[in-house]
Structure 1
Amino acid sequence: MPMKDERGDLDVSKVVKPVQATLSSLKMLDVGKWPIFSLCSEAELQLVRQACVFGSASNELLYTTVNDEIFVLGTNCCGCLGLGDVQSTIEPRRLDSLSGKKIACLSYGSGPHIVLATTEGEVFTWGHNAYSQLGNGTTNAGLVPYHISTNLSNKQVIEVACGSYHSLVLTSDGEVFAWGYNNSGQVGSGSTANQPIPRRVTGCLQNKVVVNIACGQMCSMAVVNTGEVFVWGYNGNGQLGLGSSGNQPTPCRVAALQGIRVQRVACGYAHTLVLTDEGQVYAWGANSYGQLGTGNKSNQSYPTPVVVEKDRIIEIAACHSAHTSAAKTQGGHVYMWGQCRGQSVTLPHLTHFSSTDDVFACFATPAVTWRLLSVEPDDHLTVAESLKREFDNPNTADLKFLVDGKYIYVHKVLLKIRCEHFRSSLEDNEGDTVDMSEFSYPVYRAFLEYLYTDSISLPPEEAVGLLDLATFYRENRLKKLCQQTIKQGICEENAIALLSAAVKYEAQDLEEFCFRFCINHLTVVTQTSGFAEMDHDLLKNFISKASRVGAFKN
């Protein structure tokens, strides 16, 4: 039987977190940091588009190629390579049964067993199955990929997660399904009977829209679209964050995070990390290697803030096979804490890496990937990539804007296609230069670049000006992107100014975010010059709203 506590003789779980929004790029990585890649030739490595290193000694590898072929190599424990046998191989073998399928996300447990979702939303499982973790209704080892259709046939799966011997999937409509080992309630059914086929996790999640899932060794986590975190399963190390050590057989909200909006959750061997929309990290659970980053080795059953200088965190990383944590800041700095090649690092340590993946390749034991690595081919430009390259190119442009004495080169036809304002304003304009004085050069350049790239590259402090422009031109998508960028630069000193801007430009999402930030940092915010100089009507509304949420109670 699998061990429940943090230390034991059993090999720990392995998991690749499917963070589709932040897939790592192999262009940025030295894949040689994972020794198993040395079994591939240089020609084979050139074709790699996605990769996952897993196994109790990082001795299994699955990767996809530019031709959507899937190759595997390694020890093949319990048939986890999906080749139909249990023979090890030091040469890449093609996984024919899945060739042509595009992988969206993939995760694995400690058997190991594999759960893979395609871009079409289909789910395939194979490998170890003693506890029905493959979801095929049996406990027979799965030597080849099995397409799960029971209860998922009309669903599109967008994220997968594995615990030691249980599996979770998230569907496009925000539902969570679970199956497999359930000795501690980790499938959320309310009992401790193993679950042989996918079953929807209900209870407190019944009417919630889930946006992110994760698994600890024998526990499960879900983040819903309101920013709340729900947890269930094993809790012997306090990894559920409920203030106790009792197991939880059905989803339960982490009440200690009240008023905090969580965006992502990541699970280590027996600890949990969450990332909030303010760029703050909280941790709880086992801490015998300092993996909570609190400066000591005491377990925590309540969420505890992790202090990483003053920079905003944009990515958290934890791997089910290790007691290691990592985070990346908005400024591109990568920190790690916890177990580091057998040593304990109890506070976030600044590394020389540019990627959290390198932390697990170089510091964690075993050296496995904590998420699916992915890279786009270099030799082919999509239409979108081609357009990006032509922005501000004087060699092909037929129009230029003069802003603050500087030119920005663009193409009339693209501006007309992408923006209603230009569709009318450029209709009768036969000139090749337009003077622009209403907005600053950085703001207007960011706006024009957005029309080419569908994204904005502007520091948060400049984004308020772009929000003004987006409101003026009625560019609703740009307005949403501006609000996301502005959020990343909020601090106690500018919170009132940003709240005022949000009200002025009717940016409701930003307004709600700034208000919550002010309430969460009320003592400091009320001592700033911005608060002292706040517009009378805004101050009146702020105090009224703050009173309604109980901000002034003792």
Structure 2
Amino acid sequence: MEAESPVSHGVTTKVIQATFLSALKMLDVGKWPIFALCSQEELKLIRQACVFGSAGNEVLYATENDEVFVLGTNCSGCLGTGDIQNTIEPRRLDTLCGKKIACLSYGSGPHVVVATAEGEVYTWGHNAYSQLGNGTTNHGLIPCQVSTNLVNKKVIEVACGSHHSMVLTSDGEVYAWGYNNSGQVGSGSTANQPIPRRVTGCLQNKIAVSISCGQMCSMAVVENGEVYVWGYNGNGQLGLGNSGNQPTPCRIAALQGIRVQRVACGYAHTLVLTDEGRLYAWGANSYGQLGTGNKSNQPYPIPIIVDKDRVIEIAACHSAHTSAAKTQGGHVYMWGQCRGQSVILPHLTHFACTDDVFACFATPAVTWRLLSVEPDDHLTVAQSLKKEFDNPDTADLKFLVDGKYIHVHKVLLKIRCEHFRSILSNADDEIIEMSEFSYQVYRAFLEYLYTDSISLPPEDAIGLLDLATFYRENRLKKLCQQTIKQGICEENAIALLSAAVKYEAEDLEEFCFRFCINHLTVVTQTTGFAEMDHDLLKNFISKASRVGAFKN
């Protein structure tokens, strides 16, 4: 939020400064079905999450306290809990708690590769092809640090193919290990690689800035925007113009003069994003995942028109035939295999992020990257106002009610309420005594002016309804009626009916009357009914008779 010119009418500097305080958004993971297993309290704490597995049935998430939890089917021990038992209750991964996960990727076994903020690498899960990088083929049931050849290296990005793994270090080196039947670890042979080895060849003197893996291929973008590829190429996914496998890194010559910023690999297709916001694609296209308008494979890069606007993000993952992109204007497009259908051209969605495409339309419904929420640098106006209610440090007015103070800001009251606009226009008072209403009711009213909501039991909402009627606050009046309706019971029904009549809340009156009729036997035996106002009782009996309440 940009600072504006100083505001008059008594808004203090502290109030304005409050709008610049940092806030943390809640990560919206509700579109992934697996999170239905978590309680609302657990969901509110999530700050990072990854959904993976052959059916999207495994999840790892980190909380605001840097605790790491997992749940799901635990195929091949991929949850890292030390066993192969599935779980519908979140289980804590002590090894990773407090480590601050920086990036994460997963394979098809599945196996999981994580890099921490310190640049350490941890792996676990399926390991039949040495994709965990620990020199064995034993499944890893708990997260273990991969240190061989990575000592004193800070890993900043990780990527997994179906059964191989790759990492990028802070000094631009690429290391790979695991399944290598098609040359996907870039070693020059097709022998599996049991420990991390630096990918050299054409990358020897290059500084890589980004990496990605398809099912059985690997790619790296270097600092000058060139793209290097290696591994399986049966569908032309390496973009070399042929279908021959490549055991060592090879530059994509067709992208000469084009500066690539990012590469994203699908199962057997590839997307790249250039520094000018343009999108190129190549490889398998049986589901339309290239976005060319047909289903023909393309062995070399071709431009894809998504929108007239600049593309700022591309999305794909090796477990799906789905593609997505986001434009500078915030539009999100999807194409390829979407809910089992083939979408052969980029299709505009109603989503705000590419992650939602994979949650709702990809098969399986997995995340294409680690979902993460970063601290925001400001509160919204609404959040700021809510925070400043009853804050003595910034307030310029106090209400004294039942011997207690409520701290508020004159300018906000004048903006939000006609009553205060009138009485505070020329007033210099710093304290106003209020005796017409209780402290709880008046505090709820003032808080409503800051938050647009109320939180009161139905009995207290009656008093607030009285206040809303007195101040002619029609919206508040409706909120009070909703609160009262939600809290009605046989014991308080008559009291609430009496209040509705007193404050001329016709809709509420009818609601309470119908409730009393539907529970007539019990209601007529309550203390409230016995103490009912005489005129109200006469009207109640008369109206009840007219609706047939006393028929035999």
Normalising by the residue count of structure 1, what TM-score does the alignment of the two structures yield?
0.64
Match of 2:55 in 1: 57
Within-5 A mapping of 1:36-55? 36-55=34-53
Q: Deviations over 1:66-98 (max 9, x none)?
A: 111100000000000001100000000000121
Q: Which amino acid aligns with 1:101?
A: K
Match of 1:94 in 2: 92
Q: Work out whether residues 27 and 46 of structure 2, in 8 Å CA contact, stay in contact via their aligned partners in 1.
A: no
How far the C-alpha of 1:380 sits from its partner, in A, is 10
Supply the distance in 1 between the matched residues of 2:367 and 2:139 (Cα, whole angstroms).
Answer: 24
Per mean C-alpha deviation after superposition, the further-off stretch among 232-241 and 367-376 is: 367-376
Q: Work out whether residues 27 and 373 of structure 2, in 8 Å CA contact, stay in contact via their aligned partners in 1.
A: no
Q: Work out whether residues 26 and 45 of structure 2, in 8 Å CA contact, stay in contact via their aligned partners in 1.
A: no
Report the number of matched residues.
Answer: 362
Out of 253, 256, 270, the position equivalent to 1:255 is 253
Out of 322, 325, 336, the position equivalent to 1:324 is 322
Supply the distance in 2 between the matched residues of 1:296 and 1:36 (Cα, whole angstroms).
Answer: 34
- Secondary structure class of the residue paired with 1:352: coil
Q: Which amino acid aligns with 1:169?
A: V
Match of 2:355 in 1: 357
How far the C-alpha of 1:321 sits from its partner, in A, is 1.4
Q: Deviations over 1:196-227 (max 9, x none)?
A: 00000000000000000000000000000000
Q: Work out whether residues 25 and 375 of structure 2, in 8 Å CA contact, stay in contact via their aligned partners in 1.
A: no
Match of 1:231 in 2: 229
How far the C-alpha of 1:309 sits from its partner, in A, is 2.5
Q: Deviations over 1:35-80 (max 9, x none)?
A: 1101111111111110000111110010001111100000000000
Q: Work out whether residues 234 and 247 of structure 1, in 8 Å CA contact, stay in contact via their aligned partners in 2.
A: yes
How far the C-alpha of 1:374 sits from its partner, in A, is 1.1
- Secondary structure class of the residue paired with 1:359: helix
Given the superposition, is the C-alpha separation of residues 28 and 283 from structure 1 closer, same or farther in structure 2, using an over 3 Å criterion? Answer: farther
Q: Work out whether residues 26 and 373 of structure 1, in 8 Å CA contact, stay in contact via their aligned partners in 2.
A: no
How far the C-alpha of 1:379 sits from its partner, in A, is 12
RMSD: 2.2
Given the superposition, is the C-alpha separation of residues 272 and 79 from structure 1 closer, same or farther in structure 2, using an over 3 Å criterion? Answer: same
Q: Work out whether residues 29 and 358 of structure 1, in 8 Å CA contact, stay in contact via their aligned partners in 2.
A: no
Q: Deviations over 1:362-420 (max 9, x none)?
A: 11111111111112468999xxxx9xx9xxxxx99xxxxxxxxxxxxxxxxxxxxxxxx
Q: Work out whether residues 184 and 232 of structure 2, in 8 Å CA contact, stay in contact via their aligned partners in 1.
A: yes
How far the C-alpha of 1:319 sits from its partner, in A, is 1.6
Within-5 A mapping of 1:326-341? 326-341=324-339
Within-5 A mapping of 1:214-363? 214-363=212-361
Given the superposition, is the C-alpha separation of residues 96 and 276 from structure 1 closer, same or farther in structure 2, using an over 3 Å criterion? Answer: same
Match of 2:432 in 1: none
Supply the distance in 1 between the matched residues of 2:86 and 2:376 (Cα, whole angstroms).
Answer: 32
Match of 1:474 in 2: none
Out of 187, 210, 213, the position equivalent to 1:212 is 210
Within-5 A mapping of 1:433-444? none
Supply the distance in 2 between the matched residues of 1:121 and 1:337 (Cα, whole angstroms).
Answer: 35
Per mean C-alpha deviation after superposition, the further-off stretch among 354-363 and 370-379 is: 370-379
Supply the distance in 2 between the matched residues of 1:27 and 1:214 (Cα, whole angstroms).
Answer: 28
Match of 2:75 in 1: 77
Q: Deviations over 1:460-514 (max 9, x none)?
A: xxxxxxxxxxxxxxxxxxxxxxxxxxxxxxxxxxxxxxxxxxxxxxxxxxxxxxx
Q: Which has the larger radius of gyration?
A: 2
Q: Work out whether residues 101 and 118 of structure 1, in 8 Å CA contact, stay in contact via their aligned partners in 2.
A: yes
Q: Which amino acid aligns with 2:302?
A: T
- Structure 1 residue ranges without an equivalent (≥5): 1-24, 390-394, 397-554
Within-5 A mapping of 1:142-153? 142-153=140-151
Given the superposition, is the C-alpha separation of residues 69 and 256 from structure 1 closer, same or farther in structure 2, using an over 3 Å criterion? Answer: same
Given the superposition, is the C-alpha separation of residues 45 and 310 from structure 1 closer, same or farther in structure 2, using an over 3 Å criterion? Answer: same
Q: Work out whether residues 216 and 268 of structure 1, in 8 Å CA contact, stay in contact via their aligned partners in 2.
A: yes
Q: Which amino acid aligns with 1:84?
A: G
Match of 1:499 in 2: none
Within-5 A mapping of 1:110-509? 110-376=108-374
Q: Work out whether residues 210 and 220 of structure 2, in 8 Å CA contact, stay in contact via their aligned partners in 1.
A: yes
Supply the distance in 2 between the matched residues of 1:260 and 1:99 (Cα, whole angstroms).
Answer: 42
Given the superposition, is the C-alpha separation of residues 380 and 42 from structure 1 closer, same or farther in structure 2, using an over 3 Å criterion? Answer: farther
- Secondary structure class of the residue paired with 1:97: coil
- Secondary structure class of the residue paired with 1:366: coil
Q: Work out whether residues 56 and 364 of structure 2, in 8 Å CA contact, stay in contact via their aligned partners in 1.
A: yes
Q: Work out whether residues 132 and 194 of structure 1, in 8 Å CA contact, stay in contact via their aligned partners in 2.
A: yes
Supply the distance in 1 between the matched residues of 2:378 and 2:72 (Cα, whole angstroms).
Answer: 31
Supply the distance in 2 between the matched residues of 1:228 and 1:292 (Cα, whole angstroms).
Answer: 21
Supply the distance in 2 between the matched residues of 1:28 and 1:315 (Cα, whole angstroms).
Answer: 22
Given the superposition, is the C-alpha separation of residues 260 and 136 from structure 1 closer, same or farther in structure 2, using an over 3 Å criterion? Answer: same
Supply the distance in 1 between the matched residues of 2:231 and 2:319 (Cα, whole angstroms).
Answer: 18
Q: Which amino acid aligns with 2:118?
A: E
How far the C-alpha of 1:243 sits from its partner, in A, is 0.2
How far the C-alpha of 1:278 sits from its partner, in A, is 0.6
Q: Which amino acid aligns with 1:52?
A: C
Q: Work out whether residues 166 and 186 of structure 1, in 8 Å CA contact, stay in contact via their aligned partners in 2.
A: yes
- Structure 2 residue ranges without an equivalent (≥5): 1-22, 388-392, 395-552
Supply the distance in 2 between the matched residues of 1:54 and 1:350 (Cα, whole angstroms).
Answer: 25
How far the C-alpha of 1:120 sits from its partner, in A, is 0.1
- Secondary structure class of the residue paired with 2:358: helix
Match of 2:483 in 1: none
Supply the distance in 2 between the matched residues of 1:26 and 1:41 (Cα, whole angstroms).
Answer: 20
- Secondary structure class of the residue paired with 2:95: helix
- Secondary structure class of the residue paired with 2:43: helix
Given the superposition, is the C-alpha separation of residues 254 and 377 from structure 1 closer, same or farther in structure 2, using an over 3 Å criterion? Answer: closer
How far the C-alpha of 1:28 sits from its partner, in A, is 7.8
Supply the distance in 1 between the matched residues of 2:378 and 2:146 (Cα, whole angstroms).
Answer: 34
